[in-house]
Amino acid sequence: MTLTVIIPVLDEAAHIERCLASIGTLAARVLVIDAGSTDGTQDIARRMGAEVLHHAWSSDARQVNWAIDTAGITTEWTFLLHADEIILPGLAARLADLDALPTAPLGFTVVRRLHFLGRWLRRGGLYPERTLRLWRTGHGHCEDRLIGERMIVHGRVGHVAGDIAAINTRNIGWWTDRYNANATREALAQLHDGWPSGAVGGVPVGIRAPAVTLWRYFVRLGCLDGWEGLVYCVLQTGWFRFLVDVKKREVEALMVERGQTLGTVAQNEYGIRLIPLATNGG
């Protein structure tokens, strides 16, 4: 029992029990970082034996880093899991025997399976996708990005052969809401990174999203994932990226029209505070 699992949540009553059940008795501590759920998530988590800590949300990255910095984690290892994910039995077996891992790496990737509309998407370049989720306590932190953040260790990274699965059971209307908000954050993050709209690498913005969609669907064989694969490819790859590009242009137009900085437009139009925001996690 040398493991702590961190789970950031907001209104995850639909998933949290399943998530915690998949951890079982693997972890000495399970920390559910709640951003103010109103659907009873906290009660379910406590009943399942997790510790519930409250921290106001400003980004997923900051929820994770807040837990890393302030929750007093003393176990040798820390693992990041999201509420709509589960640890599959193969990975659980590896996590039960952490002493068997090679000693040099500071962090380890695992494989993430993505389910969409009830189907595991194996094609389109979506599987196997490695993501760093396990690290030696004290050596891992999350990139301070508005969206699309990844865990970072300053040292060698190994791999644990085992999978987690993201199986969100909510409907596509909810998903659209979530990705609409994500697109705003992604657009602001890209502009803040000094990546304006307009042609990128010679590819006009309007072409980029459809091009990536066709690549994933035909070249990476997303077409073999059935209807669910088509919907994912069109919405997540095509629409989402297209929307990000449109929002970047919209934000740029507002900055010019109002004579305001990026930070002011982000705050006034979208209620998002950009500053201070480092993007490389340094």
Residues within the interface to other proteins (CB under 8 A): 117-118, 171-173, 176-177, 180-181, 183-184, 205-206, 227, 230-231, 234-235, 239, 242-243, 246-247, 249-250, 253, 269-270
Which residue's CB is nearer to other proteins, number 96 or number 172? 172
In the complex, the smallest distance separating the C-beta of residue 230 from other proteins, rounded to whole angstroms, is 6
In the complex, the smallest distance separating the C-beta of residue 144 from other proteins, rounded to whole angstroms, is 23
Which residue's CB is nearer to other proteins, number 14 or number 53? 14
DSSP label at residue 186? H
In the complex, the smallest distance separating the C-beta of residue 75 from other proteins, rounded to whole angstroms, is 40
Cα dist from 234 to 186, 210, 231, 250, whole Å = 18, 9, 5, 22
In the complex, the smallest distance separating the C-beta of residue 199 from other proteins, rounded to whole angstroms, is 12
Measured between alpha carbons, how far is 65 from 46 in angstroms, rounded to an integer?
22
Which residue's CB is nearer to other proteins, number 106 or number 167? 167
Which residue's CB is nearer to other proteins, number 15 or number 133? 15
In the complex, the smallest distance separating the C-beta of residue 7 from other proteins, rounded to whole angstroms, is 25
In the complex, the smallest distance separating the C-beta of residue 248 from other proteins, rounded to whole angstroms, is 10
Which residue's CB is nearer to other proteins, number 205 or number 221? 205
Which residue's CB is nearer to other proteins, number 71 or number 235? 235
Sequence-separated (6 or more) residues with CB below 8 Å from residue 248: 187, 190, 191, 196, 197, 205
Which residue's CB is nearer to other proteins, number 105 or number 238? 238
In the complex, the smallest distance separating the C-beta of residue 264 from other proteins, rounded to whole angstroms, is 15
Find the angle CA(224)-CA(178)-CA(91) to the nearest 5 degrees.
60
In the complex, the smallest distance separating the C-beta of residue 150 from other proteins, rounded to whole angstroms, is 25
DSSP label at residue 68? H
Which residue's CB is nearer to other proteins, number 141 or number 249? 249
Q: Are 63 and 57 in contact (CB under 8 A)?
A: yes
Here the contacts of 205-213 (C-beta below 8 Å, separation 24 or greater) are: 205/245, 205/248, 205/249, 206/242, 206/245, 208/241, 208/245, 209/237, 209/238, 209/239, 209/241, 209/242, 209/245, 210/238, 210/242, 212/237, 212/238, 212/241, 213/237, 213/238
Cα dist from 271 to 14, 109, 144, 189, 246, whole Å = 28, 34, 18, 14, 18
Sequence-separated (6 or more) residues with CB below 8 Å from residue 31: 4, 5, 6, 7, 50, 51, 53, 67, 71, 73
